[in-house]
Amino acid sequence: MTDIVIADVSEFQGAVDWAAYGAQNLAVIIRVHNGWRPDNYWVRNRDGARGHVAWRGFYQYLPASVDPTAAAHAFQATTGPLLPGEVAILDLEEGTGDQRGRRQAWLDALQDPVEWVYSGLAFARAHLPGVGIEWIAAYGQAEPAVSHVMWQFTNARSFAGIARPCDASVFHGTVLQVGSGRGVPVTVLVPAGTTPTAPVIPPAPVPPQEDIMASIADLQTVVAPVLAQGAQVEQSVLEISHRVDADRQIPATYRLSGGAAVWHVHPGVGREHLTAAAYALMGSPRILPVASPTNPLWSMEILGDPGELYRKAGDVTGAAFLLAGGGIRHITAAEYVLINSPLITDLPATHPVWLLPTIA
């Protein structure tokens, strides 16, 4: 029987060398959200795994005090649309009494093409009777006899590319590419002794026609008087874009004029810095240049990686600053090392970002 051993990683493992991990491992499971906030390493782990690992599962831990429907919405807002073949997983191991209703509420709210539930063997027996648990945890014993897809058997396994020990699971089978969907390979776990079949790939979501027409009407209503007054077109388009984003909950991609980093907005959640690989996986959407550093975009919460830093051209001190919360925050040399030395862009001394207040 062919077995695949799979790492389970989160911010607790620190930075992962995904090229090294992917060279020796076909699959990985990554924490997306802890029920209260996104995992601090989610963005870099997602990008690294998509670039180097064939099969990927993404999970959310559900605390007992968190509403499962709200948690599912937060999970979906953090991941965005999953790629074909990727699996959304609920980690349910907290709570008293019957937890089947909370499990079903999370699954119903998410409605991703492939959804699993993770739980410990004892918890599942006590609180999830009669329901399927695809990913079961049981340490220090033989593999459970209850039906499951994957068995988590330890919390202290070492893997190439991961500096700290982590949880590990075993899957009896192999990983195969069974086709493609939306322009990317579709890779699935195939149990030993079975024939792989391609999953059904739903079409990419399309905004309702009435939403599209309403957005166009909004644009026409605001643009006409602005153009008549001869105002600056670029800034007008940006302001309109913010309005449409807020009203229609449409994500958008931005860049500070003169800067290099690309930011992606998750409406109602925050903004995340896109690496070149992540930007390409999104289909290289249009980037809107944001000229004003006081634009509300820069007050949004930063998800995961802090992203781009800025430095005043010609400044002999070499001080670096992060644009956030209506001001610029100085990053010390020690902090710069701790956040893995991200890109620093030199902006001219005349750039309006230097007129913002400095946050201690």
* Residues 6+ away with beta carbon under 8 Å from 189: 4, 27, 55, 149, 171, 173, 174, 175
Residue-range definition of the domain harbouring residue 352? 251-359
Examine the fold and report which residue of 171, 191, 211 is the final residue of a domain before the chain moves on. 191
Residue type, 73: H
Each residue of 33-82: pLDDT tens digit?
Answer: 999 999 999 999 999 999 999 999 999 999 999 999 999 999 999 998 88
Residues 152 and 289 in one domain: no
Which of 74, 79, 86 lies closest to 116, judged by CA? 86
Residue 175 lies in a domain: yes
- In this structure, the chain runs to a length of 360
Number of compact structural domains in the chain: 2
Examine the fold and report which residue of 160, 191, 222 is the final residue of a domain before the chain moves on. 191
Q: Please answer whether residues 85 and 185 qualify as being in contact, where contact means their C-beta atoms are separated by less than 8 angstroms.
A: yes
Each residue of 158-175: pLDDT tens digit?
Answer: 999 999 999 999 998 877
Examine the fold and report which residue of 191, 217, 236 is the final residue of a domain before the chain moves on. 191
Residues 86 and 10 in one domain: yes
Residue 213 lies in a domain: no
**Whether the predicted model's global pTM rises above the 0.95 cut:** no
Residue 233 lies in a domain: no
Which of 69, 113, 81 lies closest to 205, judged by CA? 81
Residues 184 and 275 in one domain: no
- The DSSP line for 149-174 is SEEEEEEEEEETTEEEEEEEEEEEEE
Across the beta sheet with 288-290, the strand order is 288-290, 253-256, 262-266, 270-274, 302-303
The domain that holds 36 is classified in CATH as: 3.20.20.80
Which of 244, 263, 189, 205 lies closest to 76, judged by CA? 205
Number of Cβ within a 10 Å radius of residue 91: 22
pLDDT band at residue 347 using 50, 70 and 90 as cut-offs: confident
